[in-house]
Homo-oligomer: A and B are copies of this chain.
Amino acid sequence: MANIREIAKLANVSVSTVSRVLNKHPYVAEEKRLAVMQAIEKLDYIQNINAVHLSRGKTKTVGVMLPYVNHPYFSSLLEGIGEEALKHEYGLHLFQTAYDPDKEIEALAKMKMRMVDGMIILSRKSSWSKMEEYCLSMPAVICEKLDHPSVSAVFIDHYKAFRQGLDHLLSKGYRRIGYCIARRTGTNSNLRYQAFSEGLAEQNIAVTEDWIFDRCLGIEDGERVARQLYGMAERPDALLVSSDQVAAGIIAEWSKLGLRIPGDLAVLSFDNHPISRALQITTMDLPVNEMGKTAFRLFLERLTSGQVKQMEAEAALIERKTV
């Protein structure tokens, strides 16, 4: 494997000159540039990027920490980040954690070894206190409402969004309301519970804990919920569902059971992914791809100008046929 020194020798110039043509510096004689190019060609020279990283002290790479990639919410976010990163000639290093706190910390530790120039955290399970030291060691962007003076964030206000969904159900006359969510814990989950209970309280309605379903991630979880619901003596008349996928599962299974939507059960979900339009699901639009792009831009801004920003992305109700 030829290196810069051999190129220099063959081209009869110094290594600095070779480095200069490699990096397209100005001020190098056309004649020498050509000689270098020829030597590169002749020796099949390929730059060793690891040496560049070491020498420069940066990698032009951003690390992305996320639980799963096989989920429309995360893959849309990731797609947005990827598009923007590519545009700015940044690489993408993936850290998939499956919400395992140990893996999360391992990922953060790897990144701290200068493997990346900064990080974007899509979702997490670990407590912020355990993560903080890592997030402060480099530019960090997080996709949740985290109010920290040196961590940028782009987020949906899930209190507001959930409340908006709930209020829509209430305005349509539904009173026996439950919801489906991915996890019990986590910033966003807490916010949603709060929105839910406060919204009901204002109407003097008590929360029915049995109508709160967790571990709802994909279509199959929706199917499970529908069957659970079916077996209940006291059923809700409406459900907020934190993901279109889950809503699709509920609706599919529900109609197999011979029940009607929204007659027997109204469903309002979140994401506005294509599946919700296909199935005519009333949903809250979440601009996820755009959030991904914003996340990358925030990272870049933080890296180059040091600026920290918190940006809220707006959710919007899309009325269709399930409420």
Contact = CB atoms under 8 A, between A and B. Distances in A.
Contacts of A187: none
A219 B278 contact: yes
Nearest to A66: B82
Contacts of A252: 278-280
Contacts of A103: 86
Nearest to A53: B50
B114 A223 contact: no
**Most chain B beta carbons < 10 A, residue from A47, A82, A249:** A82
Interface string A65-79: 000111110011011
Interface string A42-81: 0000111111011000010100000011111001101100
Contacts of A83: 96, 98
Nearest to A85: B96
Contact of A92 (B71, B76, B94): B94
Contact of A96 (B59, B79, B93, B253): B79
B86 A79 contact: no
A98 B46 CA distance: 25
Contacts of A222: 278
B96 A274 contact: no
B223 A278 contact: yes
Contacts of A75: 69-71, 75
24 contacts: A46-B113, A49-B113, A49-B114, A50-B54, A50-B114, A50-B115, A69-B78, A69-B79, A70-B76, A70-B289, A71-B75, A82-B94, A91-B94, A92-B93, A92-B95, A92-B96, A93-B93, A219-B274, A219-B277, A220-B277, A245-B274, A248-B275, A249-B278, A252-B279
